[in-house]
Amino acid sequence: MSYYEIYNYLDGKSICNIFANLIVNKIHIEVPDAKTEITVNNVRNFFIVKGSTTYDKTIDLSELLKEFYSKHNPSKVNDVRVFDLITYNKTMEYQPINTSISSNKKYDKTQNELQTLVNSYVSKNILFNIKYVENEGIIYYDCKDENISQVTSILEEYFTEPVLLKVDMSNECFSSDRLYGLSPNMRGYDLLLINIKNHVYKLGLGENFNCNLNSIKSPEEVENDDMMITLNNDSFKVKNEWLESLILDIFPFELNQLDLKFGNLVDLESYVITGVCEELEESSHIRDFILI
């Protein structure tokens, strides 16, 4: 059974990811080589921001979020409440690599299509969220009472004979994804896994991609031979061991090479909203797969 939770980009996990991205960008603009790792928690009445950064100045987080809301939905500006629990001016060292990705091509496609639908109405001030039980055709939705008629019309037009149920989603809490709370100099391996996944899908090697990436050494010391990659699903059209070895041979894992590959990918706001990022979709290594 496929189940989807879709919140517009001013709500749920999406606004956590955008807020984390805003903070990381603010620090990066001031000090490009600063290291940052934060998490944004949305408890609906307020936000809690936790984590650490080598940046030594306290940021007015509320003002940062207000600036974003003023561009996208000014009515939310006066409701902003943020608790800043970031540890500033902290000494931070690179840690051994330990990251993962779990993906299903068909599920991701449907998720992105539904996210695009919900986000497309934000500019029209029609804010709604949905939970979709695909096999049963059940759609739980939440919106302001004055938008119920519009939202039901939108959903009835998009879905085939949906069962629509109005529910209250206002008490749910969310946290940002790890990727968006990392400074650009610390998220290269997370971005690389997304890029590898996209290569695998474009080549038609599988419909699922569940992968762990680890190293014993620090990213500053690591080379391709030091990396450990584990494909956790066995539904590929080739043997896992062959594909693991090929990935380690083809893709760059040295920190300086990742910086060259993703160094210009600083602001991820558009990626949160649209689900599209040219740098992550690029498929320059497909030729290497084919040649081998």
Domain layout of the chain by residue ranges:
12-92, 105-166, 184-291
Where does residue 129 fall: left (phi above 0), alpha (psi -120 to 50 degrees), or beta otherwise? beta
179-200 pLDDT, tens digit each: 999 999 999 999 999 999 999 9
Residues 66-89 have a mean pLDDT of: 95
> Looking at domain 12-92, does it have CATH number 3.40.50.170?
no
Give me the mean pLDDT over the 88-101 stretch: 95
The average pLDDT across 271-285 equals 87
In the 8-state DSSP scheme, what is residue 123?
G
> What was the pLDDT predicted at 160?
92
Q: Across the chain, what does the average pLDDT equal?
A: 94
Residue 164 pLDDT > 80, yes or no?
Answer: yes
CA distance 170 to 79: 14
Tokens 């690179």 belong to: 94
Nearest to 199 by CA among 109, 105, 283, 102: 283
Specify the pLDDT at position 263: 84
The answer to whether 269 and 257 have CB atoms below 8 angstroms apart is no
* pLDDT tens per residue across span 143-154: 999 999 999 999
Band (291; pLDDT cuts 50, 70, 90): low
pTM for this one? 0.94
Q: In terms of pLDDT, which residue wins out, 264 or 139?
A: 139
Note the pLDDT of residue 1: 56
Q: Measuring CA to CA, which residue among 160, 187, 198 is closest to residue 275? A: 198
290 band by pLDDT with thresholds 50, 70 and 90: low
